[in-house]
Amino acid sequence: MPHFSDATACTRTGAGDYKGAIQQGWDIAGNANGGYLMSLAARGLCDHSGRPDPVSITAHYLKPGRPGPVALRCETIKAGRTFTTARGTLHDADDKPLLTLLGTFGDLSVPMNEVRRLPGAPDVTPLEECTRHAGHALAESELPTFHRQVELRLDPRDAGFLNNSPSGEARMRGWFRLLDGEPMDTLAVLTALDAFPPTIFNANLPVAWTPTVELTAHVRARPPTGWVKAQFTSRFISGGMLEEDGELWTEDGELIALSRQLALLPKAG
């Protein structure tokens, strides 16, 4: 399987136009992971904007993504001194839109201001106490194909759903990194924000596909080499939908990114 940077590669074909491909294996039950799709499209938007990092980006998901060629069409909304705002739509091989994005792009290598730590990093079990299968006897072939493309370590306290023993709290915690020591960038952060099992798997709801309607990411810093710490929580499950709030942190307790996702409840059976 290609590394993340290759799996999200985009080639410029014209003014505001890019081509790429949804790679095999980056899916959950046949549908491309939403964070991966966001990263793929955001890579083209970063190039189009002339800025290396997505600072704030929102994706609306229009159709499940399947492996195959895709085209991205971009336009600049405003180019300023510090940020460029642009939007783009990712289309499949039949020219049907898969998702549309609006984002603000900048350079996060430049410190913006002083850092104030308010609530602090979440309580996540230390990495060495988390395992790939969270202590459950899962074969590699039983993992979703997407989870074979990244390194994911679930906090054992939130892994009961694997054993039909959900914790009762709509929360997922753990650790994330790319395979084979591949360095993470801010585009990989977008994938990490959608990499963990849905929070509602621990809320006595069906363990099934939970389609993303909209995903927004706010990226505050470039990630370090190695593992990042993650927490995802939900407060409201109503109207057939749920919200999921995400946080990514360094091991040293520095905030990397925040997210909010709106998703549909899975259907029983």
E strands in 165-221: 171-178, 212-219
* pLDDT value, residue 269: 54
Distance CA(61)–CA(263), nearest Å, equals 10
* pLDDT value, residue 259: 98
* pLDDT value, residue 155: 94
Strands 228-233 and 10-14: unpaired
Distance CA(51)–CA(102), nearest Å, equals 14
Query: Per DSSP, what are the bridge partners of residue 32?
Result: 27
* pLDDT value, residue 184: 96
* pLDDT value, residue 207: 74
* pLDDT value, residue 115: 64
* pLDDT value, residue 135: 47
Residue type for position 146: F
Helix (H) or strand (E) run with residue 190 in it: helix 186-192
Low-confidence ranges of the chain (pLDDT < 70): 1, 112-118, 132-142, 268-269
